[in-house]
């Protein structure tokens, strides 16, 4: 269990984390979502005891990280944003060193073997860390966090810099880990936390602006009915057809990408679903739609929405 209360962290004048509170129960897999510089890493660094909070507290399984850091750290496995690897060691030497640090003595050999299996690094076990690819380095970093069987795992952007196949693999590993442990992972990619986590904390400018399930969060995405379309008609004609469709909001011409067609970015009024109307309208005019590409709201859009919401909430309060 992780309990964070009124956490504040200043870097000089800058408030990196501004009064954050949350509780994560045992066995929960929670995603920290936020743009770069939102305070995700800082929050994680405070929870793990790397940094001290300006005020507020963080407790791991009921143990305050400042009052009893030695005991609290025993329960945490931490993968920082940049995996803390020693380039002059081989994978097995490194993991052995981590065992020394975390004082894992019982069944060390089989413990390391299990973890290598889990993180998928058995094949590079004897190689020098400096010669590994970015993806394998990330896995070795993950293996490091798993040593000592900590109940709480804190993973800072575990998929950054990996190729798509590696991302899928690492996500599966994390999902497996989340079955027995409490896991926090941070990301600035919305679909990533959506696929892995059952709860998402959205952080922006050092504050939590949403604490919700990914399903509820994605409502914000669906609310925004924006589409990119390509119509087989010249600009003026196509624009006329589009504007005649009821509930059509914004129509923005985007250029000609294919001969005798025109591309538009359209947006429905009041978030109405206008796909059928759009189809019928164009069909009636004899101008087929060649492409219809729904644009999901970007993370930025969600942030803008959420920040607006939290600001109005504050005003009302």
| Residues engaged in binding another protein (CB under 8 A) | 11, 45, 48-52, 69-71, 73-74, 76, 78, 80, 82, 84-89, 93, 97-98, 100-103, 144
| Angle, CA 75 vertex, CA 185 and CA 125 arms, to 5° | 70
What is the C-alpha radius of gyration for the chain, rounded to an integer number of angstroms? 24
User: CA-CA-CA-CA torsion for 102, 103, 109, 110, nearest 10 degrees?
Assistant: -70
Exposed, middle or buried, 149 (CB in 10 Å: 0-12/13-18/19+)?
A: middle
**Residue that is written with structure tokens 């400018």 in the block:** 205
Are residues 200 and 33 in contact, defined by beta-carbon separation less than 8 angstroms?
A: yes
Q: Which is nearer to another protein, 72 or 173 (CB)?
A: 72
Are residues 266 and 247 in contact, defined by beta-carbon separation less than 8 angstroms?
A: no
Q: Which is nearer to another protein, 45 or 166 (CB)?
A: 45
| Angle, CA 219 vertex, CA 37 and CA 227 arms, to 5° | 90
CA–CA separation, 124 vs 131, rounded Å? 10
Q: Least distance (Å) from another protein to the CB of residue 184?
A: 14
The DSSP-derived string for 60-112 is: ETTEETTTSHHHHHHTEEEE-SS----TTSBHHHHHHHHHHHTT--TTHHHHH
CA–CA separation, 38 vs 41, rounded Å? 8
CA–CA separation, 78 vs 185, rounded Å? 10
Q: Which is nearer to another protein, 88 or 308 (CB)?
A: 88
Q: Least distance (Å) from another protein to the CB of residue 299?
A: 26
Q: Least distance (Å) from another protein to the CB of residue 70?
A: 5
223 φ, ψ to 5°?
Answer: -60, -20
Q: Which is nearer to another protein, 155 or 287 (CB)?
A: 155
Tokens standing for 86?
């020693």
Q: Least distance (Å) from another protein to the CB of residue 39?
A: 15
Q: Which is nearer to another protein, 86 or 308 (CB)?
A: 86
Q: Which is nearer to another protein, 47 or 202 (CB)?
A: 47
Q: Which is nearer to another protein, 100 or 244 (CB)?
A: 100
Q: Which is nearer to another protein, 102 or 188 (CB)?
A: 102
């Amino acid at each position: 269990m992780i309990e964070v209360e009124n956490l504040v962290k200043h870097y000089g004048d800058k408030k990196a984390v501004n009064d954050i509170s949350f509780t994560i129960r045992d066995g929960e897999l929670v995603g920290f979502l936020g743009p770069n510089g939102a305070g995700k890493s800082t929050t994680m660094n405070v929870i793990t005891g790397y940094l001290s909070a300006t005020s507020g507290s963080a407790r791991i399984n009921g143990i305050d990280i400042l009052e009893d850091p030695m005991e609290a750290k025993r329960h945490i496995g931490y993968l920082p944003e940049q995996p803390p690897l020693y380039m002059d060691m081989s994978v097995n030497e490194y993991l052995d060193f981590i065992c020394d640090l975390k004082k894992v003595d019982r069944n060390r050999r089989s413990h390391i073997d299990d973890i290598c299996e889990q993180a998928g690094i058995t094949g590079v076990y004897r190689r020098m860390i400096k010669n590994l690819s970015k993806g394998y380095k990330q896995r070795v970093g993950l293996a490091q966090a798993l040593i000592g069987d900590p109940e709480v795992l804190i993973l800072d952007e575990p998929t950054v810099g990996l190729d798509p196949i590696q991302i899928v693999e690492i996500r599966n590993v994390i999902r497996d880990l989340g079955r027995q442990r409490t896991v926090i992972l941070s990301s600035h990619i919305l679909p990533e936390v959506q696929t892995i986590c059952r709860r998402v904390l959205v952080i922006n400018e050092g504050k939590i602006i949403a604490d919700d399930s990914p399903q509820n969060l994605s409502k914000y995405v669906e609310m925004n009915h924006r589409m990119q379309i390509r119509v087989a008609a010249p600009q003026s004609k196509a624009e006329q057809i589009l504007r005649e469709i009821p509930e059509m909001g914004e129509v923005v011409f985007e250029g000609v990408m294919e001969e005798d067609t025109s591309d538009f970015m359209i947006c429905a009024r009041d978030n109405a679903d206008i796909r059928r109307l759009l189809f019928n309208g164009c069909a009636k005019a004899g101008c087929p739609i060649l492409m219809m590409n729904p644009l999901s709201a970007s993370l930025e859009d969600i942030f803008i929405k959420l920040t607006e919401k939290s600001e109005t909430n504050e005003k009302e309060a």
